[in-house]
């Protein structure tokens, strides 16, 4: 079996946030085998760039949807930097949500 890795399966633009989420490759494949896109596979980690209009600052947040002892927790923690780099690239290149999805949806983080 292939070594577990993450796949970008969630990109969302909200009023003051840019969210990039990832699932593991096994969940991705299960979703795809059922004829779905991969977006419904359980997202296990999200990186968020949050715009603070009052200060013109941008904060970085991480959300984990895996608990201590979860086999994918360490994997999720090791890919945070790459996920933030993708979020910053989306922001800095001023990509639209559709452009960001075209470029990064399904992107493998190995």
| Strand, helix or coil for residue 4 | coil
> Is residue 106 a part of any domain in this protein?
no
> Is residue 105 a part of any domain in this protein?
no
> Is residue 21 a part of any domain in this protein?
yes
| Least-confidence region, from 7-11, 49-53, 89-93, 96-100 | 49-53
DSSP bridge pairs for 51: 58
User: Is the distance from CB of 98 to CB of 87 less than 8 angstroms?
Assistant: no
E strands, 5-89, in order: 6-13, 17-24, 45-52, 57-64
pLDDT tens digits for range 70-89: 889 999 999 999 999 999 99
> Is residue 80 a part of any domain in this protein?
yes
> Is residue 36 a part of any domain in this protein?
yes
- The pLDDT assigned to 109 comes to 97
Structural domain for 86, as ranges: 6-98
- The pLDDT assigned to 36 comes to 82
- The pLDDT assigned to 1 comes to 61
> Is residue 103 a part of any domain in this protein?
no
pTM over 0.85: yes
- The pLDDT assigned to 105 comes to 96
> Is residue 107 a part of any domain in this protein?
no
Count how many domains the chain has. 1
């Amino acid at each position: 079996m292939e070594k577990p890795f993450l796949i970008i399966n969630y990109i969302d633009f909200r009023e003051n946030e840019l969210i990039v989420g990832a699932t593991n490759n096994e969940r991705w494949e299960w979703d795809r085998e059922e004829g779905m896109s991969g977006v419904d596979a359980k997202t296990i980690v999200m990186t968020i760039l949050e715009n603070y209009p009052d200060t013109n600052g941008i904060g970085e947040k991480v959300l984990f949807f895996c608990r201590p002892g979860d086999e994918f927790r360490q994997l999720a923690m090791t890919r945070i930097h790459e996920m933030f780099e993708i979020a910053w690239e989306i922001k800095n290149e001023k990509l639209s949500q559709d452009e960001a999805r075209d470029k990064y949806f399904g992107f493998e983080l190995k």
